[in-house]
Amino acid sequence: MKLRANLVIGGVLFALAIFVGLLAPWLAHTDPVMDANLMNAEEPPSWTWWFGTDDQGRDIYSRVVYGARVSLTVGIISQLINSVIGVALGLSAGYWGGWWDDVVNALTNVMLAIPSLIFALAIMAVLGPGLTSLLIALGLTNWSFTCRIARASALSLRSQGYVQAATVLGYGDLRIMITQLLPNMLGPIVVIGTLGMGSAVLSEAALSFLGLGVRPPFPSWGSMLSEAREQITTAPWLSIFPGLAIFLTVLGLNLLGDGLRDILDPQSRSRRT
Amino acid sequence: MTGTPLIEVEDLRIDLDDGSRRVAAAEGVSFRIDRGETFGLVGESGCGKSITALALIGLLRHPLSIGGGVIRFEGREIQHLSAARQRELRGNRIAMIFQEPMTALNPVSPVGRQIAEMFVLHKGKSWREADQLAVEALASVRVPAPERRVKDYPHQLSGGMRQRVMIAIALACGPDLLIADEPTTALDVTVQAEIIELMRNLCAERGTATLMISHDLGLVANVCRRVAVMYAGRIVEERGSADIFRSPSHPYTQGLVASLPRLGSRAALGRSRLKEIAGVVPAITNFPDGCRFNPRCAQATDICRTRAPETDPLEAGGLVRCHHHA
C-alpha cells in the first residue's frame, strides 16, 4: 500500500500533539500556572522564552504545551461519546427500521437543525463551566453525522447475504449488529470520528474563548486566545502560538481523516485493487 | 416411513401484501420430510420455492407472511412460535445454506471465527473450545490444512472453499434439517459436483435430512429420494426421483423433463431443437383461474380453465395436481 502524504502529515501532526500532551511535565520549562513573575511580563519570543511571556510573566511555551492536554482530552473523549451515541442510534435505527427509525430520524433532524455550538453553549450554561461539563456538552451535540452514516450503512448492510445468513443461523439482533454490521461500517465511522475530533478541538477553543471552558488560570488554547485578545497589537505572540497550536492540531486531524477515508472507503479501495 | 416426520407442511399459504391487497404467492403447499431423508423442491424462479423455505425457518418478512396452514417440526407446530424460540431452532436444529457463497460470509471476520461462533451461540462453548471445534468442522468439509485456513478471511478463499465453509457453519451444530437453497448455482460445474457429493456424504453420515431447492431438476433428482415440482405457487407433482424422469405425470413436469438436454440424443434422434415449454410463468398478481398451468398446457380443456385441480394420489406412488393425469 502506498503511503499518502495527507495520511503521513496528518498522522505526524496528531501524534506530535498527543506526544506533547502526554509529556507536558517534561517538555514544559516552567509551571504553566504558578510560575508567574511580573519581572518577565510580556517578553517577546527569545531563546529563554521560546514563545514569549504574557502580562503576568508566565511562559507561553509551557502554557501551550499544557494546553494540549485539555484540547486533546476534550477532542478525543467528546468525540468518543459522540461516536458511541451516533453508532448506537444510527445502527439500531437502520437495522430495525419502523417506529424506532422514525424517532431517531426526527432526533437527528432536530440536532442537525440546531447549530451544535449554540446547543453546547446552552448545555454549558446549565452545567456551569469546567472540563467535565465541556466533555458532556460537546459529547452530546455532535453525533448527528455519525448517526446518519451508521444508519445509511446499516440500511445497505442489512440486505447483505452474510447478514441474512446470520439471521438464518439463529443470531440474535444484538449479535448481528455487533458482529456483522458494526465491523463492516467501521471505516466511515472512524473517518467521521477523526474529522469530528478536529471540530471538537475547535469547539473547545471557542467555548473556552467565551470563558465557558477550563477555568483560568489553568491554560487551554481557547482561553489563552481569549486572554490574549486585548494585547493582540502590543504582544501578538500571545495569540499567535496558541492559535498555531489549534491550527496545526485541527489540520492534522483533518488530513488524517482524509487519509483514512482514502484507505477505508470501500469505493476507493475497489478502484485500487 | 413410520413415526412422526421430521418436518411436515400442511396446506401452507404464503401471502404477498402488495399494498392494496393480499395475494397468495404460494398456496396449498404440503409435504413431509422424514428424518435423514433427502427431499427436493424444483421450480422456475418465482414459483415460490425459496419463500417456502423461508417460511419453514420463520423468516418471512414484510410484504410476505404466512396466510394459513401448519408447519410441524417433530410433531410440534412452529409457525406461531415466539421469535426467541424460532431463533433457538435456526442454526441449531434447522440450518440453511445459500446460493451465493461470495456474499454469505462476513468479509471482515476470519472464517474460523464464523464457524466457532455457532458453537458459542448454540452450544454454550467457550471461545477456546469453539476455535478447536472450528478446526475440526473445517477438516470435516475436506478443507486442506484447516488449522491454517481458520485464520483466512473469506476473500482469500475460492468459491468452492467458501461454500465448504458455509456447509461447515450450517452443519456445525448437527442440525436435523439442512435447507440448501440453490447451493451450487454460483459454482463451476466441476466444483458443483464436489460440493454436492460432500453435502450428500456429510448429511448421510450424520443423519441430517436435506431439503434441496433448485431450478435444476436433473441435479435434484440425482441427490434426492423424493422430488416435488412447484409451479406458480403450487406443488404440481411429488414423486420418487426415479419415477419423475421415467413417467412424469403432470404436463409441466413432462415439459421440464422433455426440455432437459440428453447426452447422445443427437446421435439417436438426429439434430433437433431442444424442447421448450411455450409461454412464460404468470405474474403472482395475475394467476389464471383454474389450473395455473392451463394457458401453457397443450392438454388443457374447459375444466382446467375454471376449476383448480386437487392433488390426486398416483398408482405408482406420489401425488399429482392435474385433471387429466395419466
- Convert chain A into a string of H (helix), E (strand) and C (coil): CCCCHHHHHHHHHHHHHHHHHHCHHHHCCCCCCCCCCHHHCCCCCCCCCCCCECCCCCEHHHHHHHHHHHHHHHHHHHHHHHHHHHHHHHHHHHHHCHHHHHHHHHHHHHHHHCCHHHHHHHHHHHHCCCHHHHHHHHHHHCCHHHHHHHHHHHHHHCCCHHHHHHHHCCCCHHHHHHHHHHHHHHHHHHHHHHHHHHHHHHHHHHHHHCCCCCCCCCCCHHHHHHHHHHHCCCCCHHHHHHHHHHHHHHHHHHHHHHHHHHHHCHHHHHHHC
Mean pLDDT of chain B: 87
pLDDT (tens digit per residue) in A119-135: 888 998 898 888 888 89
pLDDT band at A260 (very low <50, low <70, confident <90, very high): confident
pLDDT band at A273 (very low <50, low <70, confident <90, very high): very low
Nearest to B210 by CA among B95, B119, B318: B95
Question: Per mean pLDDT, which range of A143-152, A215-224, B292-301, B312-321 is the poorest?
Answer: A215-224
Cell of residue A159, nine digits:
440486505
- pTM summary value: 0.78
The pLDDT value given to residue A233: 81
pLDDT at B118 over 70: yes
Question: Per mean pLDDT, which range of A194-208, B169-183, B237-251, B267-281 is the poorest?
Answer: B267-281
pLDDT at B201 over 60: yes
Counted across chains A and B, CB pairs separated by less than 8 A come out at 61
pLDDT (tens digit per residue) in B133-154: 999 999 999 999 999 999 999 9
pLDDT (tens digit per residue) in B21-72: 888 888 889 999 999 899 999 988 888 888 898 898 888 887 888 888 899 9
pLDDT band at B326 (very low <50, low <70, confident <90, very high): low
Can you say whether residue B68 is alpha, beta or left, with left for phi > 0 and alpha for psi between -120 and 50 degrees? left
Does any CB of chain B come closer than 8 Å to the CB of residue A169? yes
pLDDT (tens digit per residue) in B204-249: 899 999 999 988 888 888 889 899 999 988 999 999 888 888 888 8
Q: Which of residues 42-81 of A touch B (CB under 8 A)?
A: none
Task: Give dist(CA B317, CA B326) in Å, integer.
Answer: 13
- Cβ pair A169:B87 closer than 8 A: no
DSSP of B241-264, one letter per residue? HHHHHHS--SHHHHHHHHTS--TT
Task: Give dist(CA A77, CA B76) in Å, integer.
Answer: 53
Question: Per mean pLDDT, which range of B50-59, B120-129, B264-273 is the poorest?
Answer: B264-273
* Chain A CB contacts of B57 below 8 Å: 168
By Cβ distance, the residue of A165, A171, A184 closest to B108 is A184
Q: ipTM > 0.85?
A: no
Task: Give dist(CA A99, CA A119) in Å, integer.
Answer: 26
pLDDT band at A146 (very low <50, low <70, confident <90, very high): very high
Q: What is the DSSP letter of B272?
A: -
Does any CB of chain B come closer than 8 Å to the CB of residue A168? yes
Measure CA B66 to chain center.
18
pLDDT at B1 over 50: no
More confident of the two residues A164 and B130 = B130
Angle at B274 between CA B268 and CA B281, to 5 degrees: 150
pLDDT band at A83 (very low <50, low <70, confident <90, very high): very high
pLDDT (tens digit per residue) in B303-314: 888 888 888 888
Angle at A24 between CA A20 and CA A27, to 5 degrees: 85
